[in-house]
Amino acid sequence: GDGGGGQIRVTLVQGLAGEEFYETMACGARAKAKELGVTLDVQGPQKFDPTLQTPIVNSVVAGKPDAMLIAPTDVKAMIAPLTQAKRQDIKIILVDTVVEDQSIGLSRISTDNLKGGAAAAKALSEQIGGKGKALVISTDPGVSTVDARIKGFEEEIKASHPGITSLGVQYSHNDVGEASKIVNAALAKDPDLAGVFATNLNSATGAGSALQQAGKLGQVKMVGFDAGPAQVEQLKNGVVQALIAQLPGDIGAKGVEQAVAAVKGQQVTPSIPTEATIVTAGNVSRPEVQKVLYKAGC
């Protein structure tokens, strides 16, 4: 960086600013940065969108930090700006998501969303006794993380849960009201709906509200993704029956560790896979599960 001998400067570029997963990741990263005595900046686009993330990466690179943690919003579209960053001698650590080009990212710390989706399918199947109609509510097509979860979910259903009929995916554009409308119409069409897989918070919230209004809470089972405070609250209130928790805080902290190691010329770990945990009302109070719940601010 600019300062040569000064403090190490690291920037975290989130996939999406203002989202619990990435905010928890930032919390984890900040705590670790403080511990290691490095400066951490956080930036992120307002949508999970490579055309919005590219200018941010460019601005960050112009500021020449020593290292950049980034959750790339597309496996391909982010290659070009990251290559530019690499050429400026910025150490790049990939967190949560990756790019296709294996030469980018000294270390890759990521959740397997495909696996997460499969876990969601297992959890839902368990909740509904392995049979009935299941609906998936997602945000928008083309968001790679969410798409991967859907893929994992559908593959798992097809492969191992023959009793479950998938009603397919409906898209809520990440709008709570839209998600609610979708579930309402689904209930009108299929009053015997058995389960819903909501791929993110807003989808789960809207779906939960519709089920609640229809008096179908608990009767129609729901599995959600991510385990922020709002989701955990939903779990406790019986709106959702299971959550797939990733480890965003850990990812952030490990990312900073790896970044600092890279800047100091120490050894880095090229690949660190992180786990997805199934959280249910039954296990939510256990300490090892408490640990994976996302933090509300820091």
Ligand X SMILES: O[C@@H]1[C@H](O)[C@H](O)CO[C@H]1O
Which 140-159 residues touch other proteins, going by CB under 8 A? 140-144, 147
Nearest residue (CB) to other proteins, 36 versus 79: 79
Applying CB under 8 A, among 74, 96, 154, 156 the residue interacting with other proteins is: 74
Q: Give every CB contact of residue 83 below 8 A, 6+ residues apart in sequence.
A: 101, 104
> In whole angstroms, how close is the CB of 40 to ligand X at the nearest point?
20
* Smaller CB separation from ligand X, 3 or 142: 142
Site string for other proteins, 1-30 (x = CB under 8 A): -x-----------x--xxxx-xx-------
Binding partner of residue 17 among other proteins, ligand X, none, CB cut-off 5 to 8 Å per kind: other proteins
Q: Is 281 in the site for other proteins (CB under 8 A)?
A: no
CA nearest to 224, candidates 75, 21, 51: 21
Query: Using CB under 8 A, which residues numbered 193 to 232 contact other proteins?
Result: 201-202, 205-206, 208-210, 212-214, 228-230
Cα-to-chain-centroid distance, residue 181: 24
Strand order across the beta sheet in which 107-111 lies: 39-43, 9-13, 67-70, 91-95, 107-111, 271-274
For 167-192, give one letter per residue: b (16+ CB within 10 A) or e. Answer: bebbbbebebebbbebbbebbeeeee
Element (H, E) at 207: helix 201-213
- Distance CA(230)–CA(280), nearest Å, equals 14
Q: How far is CA 247 from the centre of its chain?
A: 9
| Residue 47 touches which member of ligand X, other proteins, none, C-beta under 5-8 Å by kind | other proteins
Q: What is the C-alpha to C-alpha distance for residues 195 and 241, in angstroms, rounded to an integer?
A: 10
From other proteins, ligand X, none, interface partner of 290 (C-beta below 5 to 8 A by class): none
Q: How far is the CB of 244 from ligand X (least distance, A)?
A: 9
Q: Which residues bind ligand X (CB under 6 A)?
A: 15-16, 19, 21, 48, 96, 145-146, 200, 226
